Amino acid sequence: MSAPASSGSKFPRNMRGVLGGWARVSHANFERWLYLMHRLTGLVVGLYLIAHLAETSDIVPAYLSGDEGIWNNLMQSLYTPEAHAGLLIIAAFAVYHGLNGVRLFLAASGVGVGRPIRPEWPYAPVSLRSFQRSLGWLFIAVTLILTAYAFYELFVVTHFV
Amino acid sequence: MVRESTLMWIQYITGLGILVLGALHFASLTLLAPGGYPGALEYATVISRYTDPLWAAALEAFLALLSYHVFNGFRVLLLELNQGSGWTKAVNVTMALAAIAAFLYGTRTILVFHLGGAI
Amino acid sequence: MAASEQKQLEFKVPNLEGVEKPIKNVIFRVSRFDPDRDREPYYRDYEVPVYRFTTVLDGLLYIKYNLDPTLAVRYSCRMGVCGSCAMIVNGRERLACKTNVLSLNSNIVTVRPINNLPLIRDLVTDLRPFFEKHKKVMPYIIRDDIEARQDREFLQSPAELNEYMMLTDCIKCGLCYSACPTTATDALFLGPQALAQAYRYTIDSRDAGAALRFDVVDDPHGVWRCHFAGACSAACPKGVDPAFAIQQLKKLLLYKRNAMKSRKPAPESEKVREGTSVEEVLKSMPKEWPSPPAPK
């Protein structure tokens, strides 16, 4: 944002960037929070996919050599509360991203964003008061419920808790 | 080349598909697994998931949808960070190659069980 | 009727608190930047007396008149219709002329220029990129016969008008562009204002330029870099709701591309005005418009 005090580049671009733009949470409306979470969850789960493909490919040397131990040892080493906490986060993030993605797809299809109005002061915009907002809250609730179920599977069934 | 609206349409459709197949993937590890979640990661259960043609097909489809969706998503993020022509070209090429690479790598894991160890 | 029978008029003393004398002094923390001297903007504090109806713009002009004449600030109508005084007040995108200082409930009012546009000086940003993007979407009616008859209207029903009417309230203030998370990193992104106006003209039943505008907005840095954060609609001081327009534009691109391209624009009206001809209308136009009655 800052520019050296020499002619030609003395007018700063004044762009807020990632922290002040994508991640700006002060005075953020509900949809802006959902957008930020969508980016974060997508990034994390996407990176997890790459790690997951690498991890699951370890079944191949186990199968080819007939040595079950290669696979079972790997699974044993990952059967820890810490690893399961990581998986819980991935599960929660994946569910949120998928559900919010449905809401975004519906919005991009013109569903749930309302119909044009004639603005009257105090000018509450119709798209922020329509069905897509209720859908956002509903999907957050569903995410929490499914995360609770994932917690049950990852921690209760496995007797970590 | 390809219209951005076409790329985004496929992004939406693969997203819906991933929601369904992802639920199936989670179910295969919990509800539909003999012995529940801990048993789902046993060697025998995992092998059965790869050798059974239906499960293998579901995994392959899941992988295809994810490869497109994830790397197109990364592409969108990266293009928003920088708009230079060199950067744009590099991002487009790298994400396309990465998607293909991820798909091929994952497919190999699945195909090994159907080609008798050839690859 | 005798004068004593008339009811005594009751005169209520109005609440004059804050009208004749200032209520308190408030600190205006104003972003200052001189491109010839400073490397980056900094905040400077000024103490400003505030009346009940003092707006942020009033405060800034008080600073300019009494405390620091070097303060550069854009303003014009001071009633919320020109869009010149767009700035960020206490962290929110506001029009300075429409922001009552006391309503901010704070003894410190932080004022800084809007985001994502080059900063020229103090509170003044370069709006040229903003206007260039607006021009890029061809914000005017496009049709083959636009030059044909200039003396009659195109027929448009109230329902067709309602589709885009709320989007015509845009005053091009730039607050939506400042609030948008995508413009914060993407310098090529068209921005909520341009995209909303692209929809406004595309959906207008008098327009036949959908194909041209689709090519502009269906771009890696067009409509599809909007992710419906809704910050634009939340920031808009006129209730234009650009987020709504952009989602509808996405819908057109996904589902109604061919229908919009082959849509026939609204036809011309047969009559100039009901029952009259062009010549009659021209003859009946007065040489001088009537002036208001003289005061008594």
| Nearest chain A Cα distance for residue C129, angstroms | 11
Instruction: Look at residue B33 in the predicted model and tell me its pLDDT.
Output: 85
- Gyration radius of chain A's alpha carbons: 23
- Angle (CA) C140-A105-C239 rounded to 5° is 45
Domains of chain A and any CATH numbers: 30-113+124-156 (1.20.1300.10)
Decide if pLDDT at C149 tops 80.
no
Model pLDDT for residues A51-85, shown as the tens digit of each residue? 999 999 999 888 888 888 999 999 999 999 999 99
Q: What CATH homologous superfamily does C24-125 map to?
A: Beta-grasp domain (3.10.20.30)
Could B76 and C225 be called an inter-chain contact, meaning their C-beta atoms sit closer than 8 Å?
Answer: yes
| pLDDT 10s digits, A123-140 | 999 999 999 999 999 999
Structure tokens at B57: 């097909």
B9 touches chain C (CB under 8 A): yes
Q: What is the pLDDT of residues B86-103, one digit of tens each?
A: 999 999 999 999 999 999
What average pLDDT does chain C have?
Answer: 91
**Within an 8 Å CB–CB cutoff, is residue B22 touching chain A?**
yes
pLDDT exceeds cutoff 70 at A3: no
Between chains, do A128 and C243 touch, taking CB under 8 Å as contact?
A: yes
Average pLDDT over residues B69-86: 97
Where b means 16+ CB within 10 Å and e means fewer, B73-87 reads: bbbbbbbbeeeeeee
Residues of C with Cβ-Cβ distance to A14 under 8 angstroms: 113, 115-119, 125
Chains A, C: CB contacts within 8 A come to: 159
Looking at the predicted structure, is the pLDDT value of residue A154 above 80? Answer: yes
Mean pLDDT of C223-251: 97
pLDDT tens-place string over residues C187-214: 999 999 999 999 999 999 999 999 999 9
What is the fold, at CATH topology level, of the domain defined by B4-111?
A: 3 helical TM bundles of succinate and fumarate reductases (1.20.1300)
Q: Is B87 on the interface with A (CB under 8 A)?
A: no
Are C50 and C22 spatial neighbours (Cβ–Cβ below 8 Å)?
Answer: yes
Domains of chain C by residue range: 24-125, 128-145+155-261
Report how many Cβ contacts below 8 Å link chain B to chain C: 32
What does the pLDDT read at residue A1? Answer: 45
Q: Would you call C12 an interface residue with chain A, using a CB distance cutoff of 8 Å?
A: no
Would you place residue C279 in the very low, low, confident or very high pLDDT band (cuts 50, 70, 90)?
A: confident
Q: Residue C198: left (phi > 0), alpha (psi -120 to 50), or beta?
A: alpha
Question: Which of A59, A101, A153 is the closest to B37 by Cβ?
Answer: A153
- Decide if B20 touches A, using CB distance below 8 A: no
Choose the mutation target among A1, A11, A115, A132 for the interface with C, i.e. most C CBs under 10 Å.
A11
* Residue C167 clears pLDDT 70, i.e. is over it: yes
Tell me whether residue A152 is exposed, middle or buried, using C-beta atoms within 10 angstroms of its C-beta: 0 to 12, 13 to 18, 19 or more.
Answer: middle
Per-residue pLDDT reduced to its tens digit, A9-51: 689 999 999 999 999 999 999 999 999 999 999 999 999 999 9
| pLDDT tens string A80-108 | 999 999 999 999 999 999 999 999 999 99
Q: Which CATH architecture has domain C128-145+155-261?
A: Orthogonal Bundle (1.10)
The per-residue pLDDT for A2 is 46
Which residues of A are less than 8 Å from C164 in CB distance? 116
The answer, yes or no, to whether residue C15 has pLDDT greater than 90, is no
The domain segmentation of chain B, as residue ranges, is 4-111
